[in-house]
């Protein structure tokens, strides 16, 4: 009887704690509020910057910042127009290039973006950086990390938000946070990764187009990404959608993205 009561309470919490992803409209679990999440993300981001070499006064470093600003401004404009501006409360955009050979980039809640120099040869140029930037910003706008963390807390019986979870089991909560946001090269909870990657592809394609970058370069980037720098794909792609599936979904979204792109070039 007690187990049934606990199950029904958890089910009620799940139903109550739902949110919608902007643009796609998909329902997602949201046991953790951004008010709780953003301070954790900002602290972790600052730690990453302290522990790594940040590239600033170079053409590549400036390019990452430039692309980030263009895309973040386009995203803010879109969110205001669609009535989603509250979802950006507390955002403090930041874009940094980190010197490291790993092929990676990520965006934490609140718009904290890190690019690694290892991905730039695959990007090739500013438009390629925009493909990655749009994709990573989309993860933050779609609250994928919050969703993964919420699922992680629920699966481990840690209900009531991040602060309550920290009080119940701080080490486990910290581990769930790091996995949810892929910090340190982790991919997070892999059974959610494919769905989130395809959704970030869709939203990111639109975001780069809104910022005035031609979305038609995106399929080529994912081709290069699947080949890797030495003819072999990065290991993490084994858990992500294959390039064929990615390109198929991108082509479905391309007409809409081109509409955004044409509007952006007429300003």
Whether 50 is covered by a domain: the verdict is yes
Burial class for 101, CB neighbours closer than 10 Å (0-12, 13-18, 19+): exposed
Whether 10 is covered by a domain: the verdict is no
Whether 201 is covered by a domain: the verdict is yes
| Number of domains making up the chain | 1
Question: Annotated catalytic sites, by residue?
Answer: 136
In this structure, are residues 127 and 8 in contact, taking their beta carbons and an 8 Å threshold?
Answer: no
Question: CA 195, CA 81: separation in Å to the nearest integer?
Answer: 26
Whether 11 is covered by a domain: the verdict is no
Whether 4 is covered by a domain: the verdict is no
Cβ atoms within 10 Å, residue 92: 10
Q: How far is CA 196 from CA 70, 109, 226, in A?
A: 23, 15, 18
Q: What is the pLDDT along the chain (267 residues), one digit of tens a residue?
A: 433 333 333 433 443 355 666 666 667 666 677 787 888 889 889 999 999 999 999 999 999 999 999 999 999 999 999 888 888 999 999 999 999 999 889 998 899 999 999 999 999 999 999 999 999 999 999 887 777 777 766 666 555 554 555 445 556 656 666 666 655 444 333 444 677 888 899 999 999 999 999 999 999 998 898 886 555 455 455 556 676 788 899 999 999 999 999 999 886
Whether 12 is covered by a domain: the verdict is no
Whether 2 is covered by a domain: the verdict is no
Whether 71 is covered by a domain: the verdict is yes
Residue range(s) defining the domain that contains residue 220: 22-265
Q: How far is CA 38 from CA 32, 71, 158, 207, 245, in A?
A: 10, 20, 19, 22, 33
């Amino acid at each position: 009887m007690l187990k049934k009561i606990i199950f029904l309470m958890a089910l009620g919490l799940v139903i109550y704690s739902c949110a919608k992803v902007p643009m796609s409209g998909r329902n997602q679990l949201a046991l953790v509020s951004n008010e709780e999440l953003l301070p954790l993300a900002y602290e972790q981001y600052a730690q990453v910057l302290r522990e790594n070499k940040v590239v600033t006064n170079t053409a590549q470093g400036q390019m990452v910042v430039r692309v980030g600003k263009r895309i973040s401004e386009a995203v803010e404009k879109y969110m205001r127009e669609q009535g989603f501006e509250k979802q950006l409360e507390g955002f403090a955009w930041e874009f940094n290039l980190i010197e490291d050979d790993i092929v990676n980039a990520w965006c934490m809640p609140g718009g904290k973006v890190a690019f690694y120099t290892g991905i730039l040869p695959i990007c090739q140029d500013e438009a390629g950086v925009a493909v990655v930037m749009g994709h990573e910003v989309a993860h933050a706008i779609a609250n994928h990390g919050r969703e993964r963390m919420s699922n992680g807390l629920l699966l481990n019986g840690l209900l009531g938000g991040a602060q309550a979870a920290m009080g119940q089991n701080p080490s486990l909560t910290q581990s769930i946070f790091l996995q949810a946001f892929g910090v340190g090269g982790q991919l997070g909870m892999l059974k959610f990764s494919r769905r989130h990657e395809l959704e970030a592809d869709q939203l990111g394609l639109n975001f780069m187009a809104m910022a005035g970058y031609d979305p038609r370069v995106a399929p080529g980037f994912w081709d290069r990404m699947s080949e890797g720098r030495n003819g072999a794909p990065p290991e993490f792609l084994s858990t992500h959608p294959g390039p064929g599936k990615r390109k198929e979904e991108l082509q479905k979204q391309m007409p809409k993205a081109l509409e955004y792109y044409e509007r952006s070039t007429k300003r």
